[in-house]
Structure 1
Amino acid sequence: MDGMLLHRLRAGEIGAFTELYNRYWEALYRSSLKRIANADDAKDLIQDLFVTIWTRKDQLPQAIDWEDYLYAALRYKVINYIQADEVRIRYANAKLAESDALHPQADSIVALGELEHLIDRAMDRMPQRIREVFRLSYAEGCSPQEIAQRLSLSLQTVKNYLADAKAIVRRFLHDYPAAVPLLLLGLAGFERFF
Protein backbone atom coordinates (compact mmCIF):
# COMPACT_ATOMS: atom_id res chain seq x y z
CA MET A 1 0.00 0.00 0.00
CA ASP A 2 2.79 2.45 0.94
CA GLY A 3 4.62 1.56 -2.28
CA MET A 4 1.58 2.26 -4.44
CA LEU A 5 0.96 5.57 -2.67
CA LEU A 6 4.59 6.53 -3.19
CA HIS A 7 4.39 5.64 -6.88
CA ARG A 8 1.22 7.71 -7.34
CA LEU A 9 2.71 10.63 -5.40
CA ARG A 10 5.90 10.59 -7.50
CA ALA A 11 3.72 10.69 -10.60
CA GLY A 12 2.31 13.97 -9.31
CA GLU A 13 -1.13 12.60 -8.54
CA ILE A 14 -2.83 15.12 -6.25
CA GLY A 15 -5.23 12.42 -5.05
CA ALA A 16 -2.29 10.46 -3.62
CA PHE A 17 -1.04 13.55 -1.84
CA THR A 18 -4.53 14.22 -0.43
CA GLU A 19 -4.80 10.60 0.74
CA LEU A 20 -1.42 10.84 2.48
CA TYR A 21 -2.37 14.13 4.10
CA ASN A 22 -5.77 12.89 5.30
CA ARG A 23 -4.26 9.69 6.67
CA TYR A 24 -1.52 11.31 8.78
CA TRP A 25 -2.09 15.03 9.40
CA GLU A 26 -4.13 14.71 12.61
CA ALA A 27 -1.72 12.33 14.36
CA LEU A 28 1.25 14.44 13.26
CA TYR A 29 -0.49 17.59 14.48
CA ARG A 30 -1.13 16.07 17.93
CA SER A 31 2.48 14.94 18.11
CA SER A 32 3.86 18.37 17.20
CA LEU A 33 1.45 20.09 19.59
CA LYS A 34 2.84 18.02 22.47
CA ARG A 35 6.31 19.33 21.70
CA ILE A 36 5.72 23.00 20.97
CA ALA A 37 2.39 23.70 22.73
CA ASN A 38 1.27 26.34 20.25
CA ALA A 39 -1.64 25.28 18.04
CA ASP A 40 -0.94 27.73 15.22
CA ASP A 41 2.75 26.90 15.07
CA ALA A 42 2.00 23.18 15.25
CA LYS A 43 -0.37 23.53 12.26
CA ASP A 44 2.26 25.53 10.39
CA LEU A 45 4.86 22.80 10.99
CA ILE A 46 2.55 20.12 9.63
CA GLN A 47 1.65 22.24 6.61
CA ASP A 48 5.33 22.92 5.97
CA LEU A 49 6.09 19.21 6.30
CA PHE A 50 3.51 18.27 3.66
CA VAL A 51 4.57 21.11 1.35
CA THR A 52 8.13 19.81 1.57
CA ILE A 53 6.96 16.29 0.72
CA TRP A 54 5.05 17.56 -2.32
CA THR A 55 7.88 19.74 -3.61
CA ARG A 56 10.47 16.99 -3.07
CA LYS A 57 8.33 14.05 -4.13
CA ASP A 58 10.95 13.05 -6.72
CA GLN A 59 13.63 12.81 -4.00
CA LEU A 60 11.69 10.48 -1.69
CA PRO A 61 13.36 7.11 -0.97
CA GLN A 62 12.47 4.15 -3.20
CA ALA A 63 10.93 2.14 -0.36
CA ILE A 64 9.13 4.05 2.34
CA ASP A 65 7.23 3.42 5.54
CA TRP A 66 5.16 6.59 5.60
CA GLU A 67 4.57 6.61 9.34
CA ASP A 68 8.27 6.30 10.21
CA TYR A 69 9.28 8.74 7.49
CA LEU A 70 6.74 11.39 8.45
CA TYR A 71 7.48 11.21 12.18
CA ALA A 72 11.23 11.44 11.53
CA ALA A 73 10.67 14.44 9.24
CA LEU A 74 8.43 16.04 11.86
CA ARG A 75 11.08 15.52 14.53
CA TYR A 76 13.57 17.51 12.42
CA LYS A 77 10.98 20.25 11.78
CA VAL A 78 10.31 20.53 15.54
CA ILE A 79 14.04 20.67 16.33
CA ASN A 80 14.55 23.41 13.74
CA TYR A 81 11.54 25.31 15.09
CA ILE A 82 12.83 25.13 18.68
CA GLN A 83 16.33 26.21 17.65
CA ALA A 84 14.94 29.11 15.62
CA ASP A 85 12.70 30.08 18.53
CA GLU A 86 15.70 30.11 20.88
CA VAL A 87 17.54 32.40 18.46
CA ARG A 88 14.49 34.72 18.31
CA ILE A 89 14.29 34.78 22.12
CA ARG A 90 18.00 35.58 22.49
CA TYR A 91 17.66 38.32 19.88
CA ALA A 92 14.56 39.77 21.58
CA ASN A 93 16.27 39.68 24.99
CA ALA A 94 19.32 41.44 23.56
CA LYS A 95 17.09 44.11 22.02
CA LEU A 96 15.20 44.54 25.31
CA ALA A 97 18.44 44.86 27.24
CA GLU A 98 19.63 47.42 24.71
CA SER A 99 16.34 49.31 25.01
CA ASP A 100 16.47 49.17 28.81
CA ALA A 101 19.97 50.62 28.74
CA LEU A 102 18.76 53.51 26.58
CA HIS A 103 15.38 54.04 28.33
CA PRO A 104 15.57 52.40 31.76
CA GLN A 105 12.47 54.14 33.11
CA ALA A 106 10.19 53.75 30.09
CA ASP A 107 8.97 50.27 31.05
CA SER A 108 8.39 51.35 34.64
CA ILE A 109 6.32 54.34 33.53
CA VAL A 110 4.15 52.18 31.27
CA ALA A 111 3.82 49.50 33.97
CA LEU A 112 2.90 52.13 36.54
CA GLY A 113 0.08 53.41 34.34
CA GLU A 114 -1.21 49.90 33.68
CA LEU A 115 -1.11 48.97 37.36
CA GLU A 116 -2.89 52.18 38.37
CA HIS A 117 -5.59 51.46 35.80
CA LEU A 118 -6.09 47.94 37.16
CA ILE A 119 -6.23 49.17 40.75
CA ASP A 120 -8.82 51.81 39.76
CA ARG A 121 -10.92 49.06 38.19
CA ALA A 122 -10.59 46.97 41.36
CA MET A 123 -11.68 49.98 43.43
CA ASP A 124 -14.88 50.16 41.38
CA ARG A 125 -15.79 46.77 42.85
CA MET A 126 -15.38 47.89 46.44
CA PRO A 127 -18.24 48.94 48.70
CA GLN A 128 -18.37 52.72 48.93
CA ARG A 129 -16.95 53.11 52.47
CA ILE A 130 -14.07 50.68 51.83
CA ARG A 131 -13.33 52.45 48.53
CA GLU A 132 -13.23 55.79 50.36
CA VAL A 133 -10.77 54.48 52.96
CA PHE A 134 -8.61 52.82 50.33
CA ARG A 135 -8.58 55.94 48.13
CA LEU A 136 -7.35 58.06 51.05
CA SER A 137 -4.57 55.56 51.70
CA TYR A 138 -3.72 54.79 48.07
CA ALA A 139 -4.25 58.13 46.33
CA GLU A 140 -3.50 60.58 49.10
CA GLY A 141 -1.02 58.55 51.13
CA CYS A 142 -2.86 59.04 54.41
CA SER A 143 -1.93 56.87 57.37
CA PRO A 144 -4.62 54.74 59.04
CA GLN A 145 -4.64 57.20 61.97
CA GLU A 146 -5.24 60.16 59.64
CA ILE A 147 -8.02 58.31 57.85
CA ALA A 148 -9.68 57.40 61.15
CA GLN A 149 -9.66 61.07 62.22
CA ARG A 150 -10.88 62.40 58.84
CA LEU A 151 -13.75 59.93 58.58
CA SER A 152 -14.57 59.69 62.29
CA LEU A 153 -13.90 55.95 62.35
CA SER A 154 -12.06 53.81 64.84
CA LEU A 155 -8.49 52.92 63.95
CA GLN A 156 -9.40 49.21 63.94
CA THR A 157 -12.27 49.82 61.50
CA VAL A 158 -9.89 51.63 59.14
CA LYS A 159 -7.40 48.77 59.36
CA ASN A 160 -10.18 46.25 58.66
CA TYR A 161 -11.38 48.27 55.66
CA LEU A 162 -7.84 48.51 54.31
CA ALA A 163 -7.36 44.74 54.72
CA ASP A 164 -10.66 44.15 52.88
CA ALA A 165 -9.63 46.57 50.12
CA LYS A 166 -6.26 44.88 49.67
CA ALA A 167 -7.96 41.50 49.43
CA ILE A 168 -10.32 42.85 46.74
CA VAL A 169 -7.41 44.32 44.77
CA ARG A 170 -5.41 41.06 45.04
CA ARG A 171 -8.38 38.98 43.88
CA PHE A 172 -8.99 41.37 41.01
CA LEU A 173 -5.34 41.34 39.91
CA HIS A 174 -5.27 37.55 40.18
CA ASP A 175 -7.76 37.46 37.28
CA TYR A 176 -5.31 39.48 35.15
CA PRO A 177 -2.16 37.43 34.52
CA ALA A 178 -0.67 40.44 32.74
CA ALA A 179 -0.57 42.20 36.13
CA VAL A 180 1.99 39.74 37.54
CA PRO A 181 5.00 41.30 35.76
CA LEU A 182 3.80 44.71 36.90
CA LEU A 183 3.75 43.60 40.51
CA LEU A 184 7.14 41.95 40.14
CA LEU A 185 8.63 45.25 39.11
CA GLY A 186 8.13 46.33 42.75
CA LEU A 187 6.89 49.76 41.76
CA ALA A 188 7.56 52.32 44.44
CA GLY A 189 4.47 53.33 46.32
CA PHE A 190 2.51 50.16 45.54
CA GLU A 191 4.33 47.56 47.61
CA ARG A 192 2.51 48.68 50.78
CA PHE A 193 -0.75 47.48 49.23
CA PHE A 194 0.43 43.94 48.45
Structure 2
Amino acid sequence: MDGQLLERLRTGDIEAFTELYNRYWEALYQSLLKRIANADDAKDLIQELFITIWIRKDQLPHTINWENYLYAALRYRVINYIQADEVRIRYANERLKQVELLQSQRADSTIAAGELENLIDQAIDHMPRRIQEVFRLSYTEGYSPQEIAKQLSLSLQTVKNYLTDAKAIVRRFLHDYPAVISLSLFSLADFHHFI
Protein backbone atom coordinates (compact mmCIF):
# COMPACT_ATOMS: atom_id res chain seq x y z
CA MET A 1 0.00 0.00 0.00
CA ASP A 2 2.79 2.44 0.91
CA GLY A 3 4.61 1.49 -2.29
CA GLN A 4 1.57 2.17 -4.48
CA LEU A 5 0.98 5.52 -2.81
CA LEU A 6 4.64 6.38 -3.29
CA GLU A 7 4.54 5.52 -7.00
CA ARG A 8 1.39 7.56 -7.57
CA LEU A 9 2.88 10.48 -5.66
CA ARG A 10 6.09 10.33 -7.69
CA THR A 11 4.05 10.79 -10.88
CA GLY A 12 2.47 13.96 -9.47
CA ASP A 13 -0.87 12.41 -8.60
CA ILE A 14 -2.56 15.06 -6.44
CA GLU A 15 -5.14 12.53 -5.21
CA ALA A 16 -2.30 10.38 -3.86
CA PHE A 17 -0.89 13.41 -2.09
CA THR A 18 -4.33 14.25 -0.62
CA GLU A 19 -4.74 10.65 0.52
CA LEU A 20 -1.32 10.73 2.22
CA TYR A 21 -2.17 14.05 3.88
CA ASN A 22 -5.59 12.89 5.11
CA ARG A 23 -4.22 9.57 6.34
CA TYR A 24 -1.45 11.02 8.54
CA TRP A 25 -2.22 14.67 9.28
CA GLU A 26 -4.29 14.18 12.45
CA ALA A 27 -1.91 11.63 14.04
CA LEU A 28 1.10 13.83 13.27
CA TYR A 29 -0.68 16.84 14.70
CA GLN A 30 -1.64 15.08 17.95
CA SER A 31 1.88 13.74 18.35
CA LEU A 32 3.39 17.17 17.71
CA LEU A 33 1.15 18.89 20.25
CA LYS A 34 2.80 16.77 22.94
CA ARG A 35 6.18 18.30 22.01
CA ILE A 36 5.33 21.91 21.31
CA ALA A 37 2.61 23.88 23.02
CA ASN A 38 1.68 26.20 20.17
CA ALA A 39 -1.09 24.67 18.04
CA ASP A 40 -0.57 27.12 15.18
CA ASP A 41 3.15 26.34 15.04
CA ALA A 42 2.34 22.62 15.08
CA LYS A 43 0.00 23.04 12.11
CA ASP A 44 2.60 25.11 10.28
CA LEU A 45 5.31 22.49 10.81
CA ILE A 46 3.09 19.74 9.45
CA GLN A 47 2.02 21.87 6.47
CA GLU A 48 5.68 22.64 5.72
CA LEU A 49 6.49 18.92 5.92
CA PHE A 50 3.81 18.00 3.39
CA ILE A 51 4.71 20.89 1.09
CA THR A 52 8.33 19.68 1.12
CA ILE A 53 7.20 16.15 0.31
CA TRP A 54 5.20 17.43 -2.68
CA ILE A 55 8.04 19.61 -3.94
CA ARG A 56 10.61 16.81 -3.58
CA LYS A 57 8.34 13.94 -4.58
CA ASP A 58 10.78 12.78 -7.25
CA GLN A 59 13.59 12.64 -4.65
CA LEU A 60 11.76 10.37 -2.20
CA PRO A 61 13.37 6.96 -1.45
CA HIS A 62 12.38 4.06 -3.72
CA THR A 63 10.80 2.17 -0.85
CA ILE A 64 9.14 3.89 2.04
CA ASN A 65 7.28 3.24 5.26
CA TRP A 66 5.20 6.43 5.34
CA GLU A 67 4.59 6.37 9.07
CA ASN A 68 8.29 6.01 9.93
CA TYR A 69 9.31 8.47 7.23
CA LEU A 70 6.84 11.18 8.25
CA TYR A 71 7.56 10.89 11.98
CA ALA A 72 11.33 10.97 11.39
CA ALA A 73 11.03 14.00 9.08
CA LEU A 74 8.78 15.73 11.57
CA ARG A 75 11.20 14.97 14.41
CA TYR A 76 13.96 16.87 12.54
CA ARG A 77 11.61 19.79 12.00
CA VAL A 78 10.76 19.84 15.71
CA ILE A 79 14.46 19.86 16.63
CA ASN A 80 15.06 22.79 14.26
CA TYR A 81 11.97 24.55 15.60
CA ILE A 82 13.10 24.16 19.22
CA GLN A 83 16.65 25.27 18.43
CA ALA A 84 15.36 28.30 16.53
CA ASP A 85 12.99 29.06 19.39
CA GLU A 86 15.85 28.87 21.89
CA VAL A 87 17.88 31.27 19.74
CA ARG A 88 14.89 33.64 19.56
CA ILE A 89 14.44 33.44 23.34
CA ARG A 90 18.15 34.04 23.97
CA TYR A 91 18.11 36.99 21.56
CA ALA A 92 14.95 38.41 23.17
CA ASN A 93 16.48 38.01 26.65
CA GLU A 94 19.70 39.73 25.55
CA ARG A 95 17.73 42.59 24.00
CA LEU A 96 15.64 42.87 27.18
CA LYS A 97 18.81 43.03 29.29
CA GLN A 98 20.23 45.72 27.01
CA VAL A 99 17.01 47.75 27.20
CA GLU A 100 16.87 47.39 31.00
CA LEU A 101 20.53 48.39 31.30
CA LEU A 102 20.00 51.40 29.04
CA GLN A 103 16.93 52.46 31.00
CA SER A 104 18.85 52.04 34.25
CA GLN A 105 21.77 54.07 32.91
CA ARG A 106 19.42 56.78 31.69
CA ALA A 107 17.70 56.88 35.07
CA ASP A 108 21.08 57.07 36.84
CA SER A 109 22.28 59.74 34.42
CA THR A 110 19.08 61.75 34.86
CA ILE A 111 19.41 61.59 38.64
CA ALA A 112 23.11 62.43 38.46
CA ALA A 113 22.46 65.30 36.05
CA GLY A 114 19.90 66.70 38.49
CA GLU A 115 22.38 66.32 41.36
CA LEU A 116 25.06 67.99 39.26
CA GLU A 117 22.71 70.88 38.52
CA ASN A 118 22.03 71.24 42.26
CA LEU A 119 25.75 71.22 43.03
CA ILE A 120 26.43 73.89 40.42
CA ASP A 121 23.58 75.98 41.85
CA GLN A 122 25.13 75.59 45.31
CA ALA A 123 28.51 76.62 43.93
CA ILE A 124 26.91 79.69 42.34
CA ASP A 125 25.42 80.59 45.74
CA HIS A 126 28.98 80.72 47.14
CA MET A 127 30.12 83.25 44.53
CA PRO A 128 30.24 87.00 45.10
CA ARG A 129 27.10 88.69 43.76
CA ARG A 130 28.66 90.24 40.63
CA ILE A 131 30.44 86.99 39.65
CA GLN A 132 27.14 85.14 40.20
CA GLU A 133 25.41 87.54 37.85
CA VAL A 134 28.02 87.11 35.11
CA PHE A 135 28.15 83.33 35.52
CA ARG A 136 24.35 82.96 35.40
CA LEU A 137 24.17 85.01 32.20
CA SER A 138 26.84 82.77 30.67
CA TYR A 139 25.78 79.42 32.12
CA THR A 140 21.98 79.75 32.24
CA GLU A 141 21.25 82.22 29.47
CA GLY A 142 24.08 81.27 27.13
CA TYR A 143 25.32 84.82 26.59
CA SER A 144 28.80 85.34 25.18
CA PRO A 145 31.34 87.37 27.20
CA GLN A 146 30.88 90.27 24.77
CA GLU A 147 27.09 90.24 25.27
CA ILE A 148 27.49 90.10 29.06
CA ALA A 149 29.96 93.00 29.01
CA LYS A 150 27.55 95.08 26.98
CA GLN A 151 24.50 94.16 29.08
CA LEU A 152 26.21 94.84 32.45
CA SER A 153 28.31 97.79 31.24
CA LEU A 154 31.55 96.01 32.14
CA SER A 155 34.77 95.69 30.23
CA LEU A 156 35.24 92.48 28.28
CA GLN A 157 38.34 91.68 30.35
CA THR A 158 36.39 92.08 33.61
CA VAL A 159 33.72 89.66 32.36
CA LYS A 160 36.41 87.14 31.37
CA ASN A 161 38.06 87.50 34.79
CA TYR A 162 34.71 86.96 36.54
CA LEU A 163 34.02 83.86 34.43
CA THR A 164 37.49 82.48 35.22
CA ASP A 165 36.84 83.06 38.95
CA ALA A 166 33.37 81.46 38.66
CA LYS A 167 34.79 78.38 36.92
CA ALA A 168 37.41 77.98 39.63
CA ILE A 169 34.72 78.14 42.33
CA VAL A 170 32.56 75.56 40.54
CA ARG A 171 35.57 73.25 40.04
CA ARG A 172 36.53 73.47 43.72
CA PHE A 173 32.94 72.84 44.76
CA LEU A 174 32.52 69.81 42.45
CA HIS A 175 35.88 68.37 43.51
CA ASP A 176 34.23 67.15 46.71
CA TYR A 177 31.58 65.15 44.77
CA PRO A 178 33.43 62.76 42.40
CA ALA A 179 30.63 60.13 42.46
CA VAL A 180 28.08 62.56 41.06
CA ILE A 181 30.54 63.77 38.45
CA SER A 182 31.42 60.25 37.30
CA LEU A 183 27.72 59.46 36.85
CA SER A 184 27.24 62.71 34.97
CA LEU A 185 30.05 62.59 32.44
CA PHE A 186 27.57 63.22 29.64
CA SER A 187 26.24 66.23 31.55
CA LEU A 188 29.74 67.57 32.07
CA ALA A 189 30.04 67.74 28.31
CA ASP A 190 27.23 70.30 28.44
CA PHE A 191 29.04 72.24 31.15
CA HIS A 192 32.61 71.92 29.85
CA HIS A 193 32.68 75.45 28.47
CA PHE A 194 31.67 76.74 31.89
CA ILE A 195 33.85 74.58 34.13
- 1:5 matches 2:5: yes
Instruction: Give runs of aligned pairs for residues 19-98 of structure 1, distance below 5 A.
Output: 19-98=19-98
Output one character per residue of 1:94-152: Cα deviation in whole Å (capped at 9) or x when no partner. Answer: 1001101111399xxxxxxxxxxxxxxxxxxxxxxxxxxxxxxxxxxxxxxxxxxxxxx
Aligned to 1:126: none
Q: How far, CA to CA, are the matches of 2:17 and 2:104 in structure 1? A: 54
C-alpha displacement of 1:58: 0.8
Q: Return the index of the structure with the highest Cα Rg.
A: 2
Q: How far, CA to CA, are the matches of 1:30 and 1:58 in structure 2? A: 28
Aligned to 1:99: 99
Runs of 4 or more, structure 1, over 3 Å off, are none
The TM-score with structure 2 as length reference comes to 0.53
C-alpha displacement of 1:20: 0.1
In structure 1, stretches of 5+ residues that fail to align are 107-194
Output one character per residue of 1:28-87: Cα deviation in whole Å (capped at 9) or x when no partner. Answer: 001111000110110011001101111111110000000000000010010000000000
How much is the aligned-residue C-alpha RMSD, in angstroms? Answer: 1.3
Secondary structure in structure 2 of the residue aligned to 1:37: coil
The TM-score with structure 1 as length reference comes to 0.53
Q: How far, CA to CA, are the matches of 2:5 and 2:85 in structure 1? A: 34
Q: How far, CA to CA, are the matches of 2:104 and 2:26 in structure 1? A: 47
Match for 1:83: what amino acid? Q
In structure 2, stretches of 5+ residues that fail to align are 108-195
